Structure 1
């Protein structure tokens, strides 16, 4: 095996016939039921029929379990068709992250917790590097923009499943209505728009803004008279 190739997760049965995959799947189910506050190795052990030490046999630590769970979520993502232009590939990846967040709202925070989770993660990062290079970003800036891109798209997805992004609540609107007209005219004028805010529109518009920002960044390094990708 090439020493630079990430090792594949161990899936062979361990104590009592447990497999790493079965533990990770059960862990995601448990996280979705009770969130991080209700997640313990003891509860997970009870669910899969073993003691916590048997779980650690496979995952080494709770942090190792969390990383494996994030890797399983990452494996839900699909690589965009290479025939798409760079913006299309980046947009496709962002949409995939949002889809996973909506399917696993209480586990999705794990995808912000780790930079690298395994083979699937490396595949997507390779795509992002290629897209940024195609956009005209200098090689020295690609790692920074790559991590910034991930932080932005996962943050948008977390904002939606966490309740930040969505229509204004009745309480929000009542508080806005009580603000003095002279001090908050723009905000009060936008109240109907906040009331009808659609999360998918917020996500799509924000992604386009990020992509436009990549174009603007690349344009700073173009020869005079050249057009951005």
Structure 2
């Protein structure tokens, strides 16, 4: 049975409200975004959005959850490395398509059911990699935040090629011999290369950590009879 779309006050469909708000964020950015400007862009009153989402934060959370729906849940038969890589690349596509709204993904512990589902997939991949359950939360947060950080750096300009001002600053300092040597590489570095390197390093780090955890712990060697006698003698002394 097909689920009917959720309707808010005055019969407006929730998905349409969120989509229109998302487009408004992309048009005007997050700094001036609020229920009032969203209502104006949608063509409804503020009370309608307040009734459905509660607050500006509630609407922003709904927008972020809408973005998560663009990340497909990986197929379970895929290797864990491929599952993480596939989700990571999906987030990069979101960052490029919605550079303003993408920042909302870094703002909430969870944006709703869809992100929780994707988090389940992320955690399952780490567990399948061989990590202990106790380590999955920390590694999950660290790797997820790292991917979002690389995506944010790309859309905000961090990965841009060095400009004329940066080149002048580097040339003006005598304590940067390695940086000066690497400048031609920086000049030719592409965003794809950086993102691929980030995924490769994350995957390798997870593999190394999982390998450490799979090694059997060595039992401590028993003390020799001589050392036991010395210990007793020392105590008597």
Using the size of structure 1 for normalisation, the TM-score is 0.88
Is the partner of 1:84 in helix, strand or coil? coil
Tell me if the contact between 1:160 and 1:199 (Cα under 8 Å) persists in the aligned partners.
yes
Q: Secondary structure at the match of 1:71?
A: helix
Matches within 5 A, 1:172-183: 172-180=166-174, 183=175
Could you tell me which residue of structure 1 aligns to residue 234 of structure 2? none
Decide whether aligned partners of structure 1 residues 85 and 196 sit closer, same or farther in structure 2, where only a CA change above 3 A counts.
same
What is the CA-CA distance between 1:9 and the residue it aligns to? Answer: 11
Residue 187 (structure 1) aligned with residue 179 (structure 2): yes
Structure number with the higher helix fraction is 2
Report SS of the residue matched to 1:99: helix
Q: Which has the greater radius of gyration?
A: 2
Secondary structure of the residue aligned to 1:165 is coil
Spell out, residue by residue over 1:37-84, the C-alpha distance to the aligned partner (whole angstroms, 9 max, x if none): 231221111111222121111101111101100000000111222222
- The number of aligned residues is 215
Counterpart Cα distance in 1 of 2:151 and 2:69: 17
Structure 1 residue 111: Cα displacement:
0.6
For 1:64-75, what aligned pairs fall within 5 Å after superposition? 64-75=58-69
Quote the offset at 1:12 in angstroms.
1.3
- Residue 101 of structure 1 is matched in structure 2 by 95
| Distance in 1 of aligned mates of 2:67 and 2:8 | 22
Match of 2:83 in 1: 89
SS of 1:208 mapped into structure 2 = helix
C-alpha distance in 1 between matches for 2:188 and 2:55: 45
Distance across 1 between alignment mates of 2:191 and 2:9: 43
